[in-house]
Amino acid sequence: MGAVAHRGLAADFVVRDDPPPAISGPQPLEKEAFASRWEVIVGGGASFEPAYEGGEKMEISPIPIVSIGYADWLQFDPGGLDVTLYKDGGFYVDARFGYESGRSEGDGDLLRGLGDVDFGVTAGIKVGYQWDAFEFYGVIDKTIGGSEGLTGKIGANYGWHMGEKLVVATSLEATIADENYMDSYFSIDAAQAAASGLPQYKAGAGLQRVDFDISATYAFDENWFLQAGAGVGLLVGDAADSPIVEREWQPQVTLSLGYRF
């Protein structure tokens, strides 16, 4: 997979009473998540996406799902832990703890000789505002280990009910990355150029990618639900110009089945 935790499986994974929770992709957004009790989701599925960020070869990866929420302030899922620090009406501030999965030089032919990017843990803050079915947000995450990078995201989500059992949601998000992140995943230094045969390349900080996603969640009953998601990311700027990028457009499809206790 890519450099960071799967977008649809990270901290955007939300548990809520109505509608049933989405497993992956953009979520129908009502920050009044979780009744005042524990709520647990288990499930699984698969994703079909590039083997690495910028790669052309697609691969199928399993999606294990375990999501635990409590009241309206704590959420733990495959992407990490979110804790609500402050909330006033539609405005909220969350602390985020997750991971950056890194990259193996075996993920693609163009990566051979570049070495691996190690796994790292992330800590960050999400600030957002919810108005009706819309959410607008900004995120800053710092990686400790791995790329040692700093990334920021700005985005908007919208979700709506289509009958009693079907929820559709869309998301648009832009990612900005610092020099450490860009160097780790898109730059090629002299030693790497000699080992790989690729030209030297220096990727600077700035806008790195833009993503659009859509998902549909169908509830069979009060416990079982199915979600299908599809999205596409566009690498831009210095990221898109890197010699390791085979395709700027990065598609993704997911299918998951879950059970809510």
DSSP sequence for the chain: --SSS-GGGSTT----SSSPPP-SSS----S--S-SSEEEEEEEEEEEEESSTT---EEEEEEEEEEEEETTTEEEETTEEEEEEEEETTEEEEEEEEEE--B-GGG-GGGTTS-PBPPEEEEEEEEEEEETTEEEEEEEEEEEETT--EEEEEEEEEEEESSSSEEEEEEEEEEEE-HHHHHHHT-B-HHHHHHH-PPPB-PPSEEEEEEEEEEEEEESSSSEEEEEEEEEEEE-HHHHHSTT-S-SEEEEEEEEEEEE-
Amino acid at 30: E
Is 21's pLDDT higher than 70? no
Residue 91 has pLDDT above 90, yes or no: yes
Query: What is the per-residue pLDDT for 28?
Result: 40
Residue range 179-186: average pLDDT? 98
36 pLDDT higher than 60:
no
Please name the residue ranges forming H helices in 24-93. Answer: none
Confidence of residue 17 (pLDDT cuts 50, 70, 90): very low
Mean pLDDT of 80-88: 95
Q: pLDDT of 121-161, one tens digit each?
A: 999 999 999 999 999 999 999 999 999 999 999 999 999 99
Structure confidence at residue 192 (pLDDT): 97
The whole-number pLDDT of residue 159 equals 95
Mean pLDDT of the chain: 88
Cβ 61 vs Cβ 256: under 8 Å: no
Give the residue extent of every domain in the chain: 7-260
Q: Which of 26, 59, 62 is nearest to 217 (CA)?
A: 26
User: What's the average model confidence in pLDDT over 177-202?
Assistant: 97
Q: Distance between CA 140 and CA 75 in Å, rounded?
A: 18
Please name the amino acid found at residue 131.
W
Cis peptide bond prior to 19, omega within 30° of 0: yes
What integer is the mean pLDDT of 201-214? 98
CA atoms within 13 A on the CB side of 63: 33
Q: Determine the 3-state secondary structure of 63 from DSSP.
A: strand
Backbone torsion region of residue 180, taken as left when φ is above 0, otherwise alpha when ψ lies between -120 and 50, otherwise beta: alpha
Q: What was the pLDDT predicted at 71?
A: 82
**Per-residue burial over 166-178, b = 16 or more CB atoms within 10 Å of its CB, e = otherwise:** ebbbbbebebbbb
Segment 93-109, tens digit of pLDDT = 999 999 999 999 999 99
Q: What is the band of 72 on the pLDDT scale with cuts at 50, 70, 90?
A: confident
Tell me the two tokens of residue 242: 């890197």
Single-letter code of the amino acid located at 79 = G
Predicted pLDDT of residue 4: 39
- In this prediction, residue 79 has a pLDDT band, given cuts at 50, 70 and 90, of confident
Percent of the chain with pLDDT over 90: 80
Architecture, CATH, for domain 7-260: Beta Barrel (2.40)
What average pLDDT does the segment 216-235 reach? 96
Give the confidence band of 34 by pLDDT, cuts at 50, 70, 90. very low
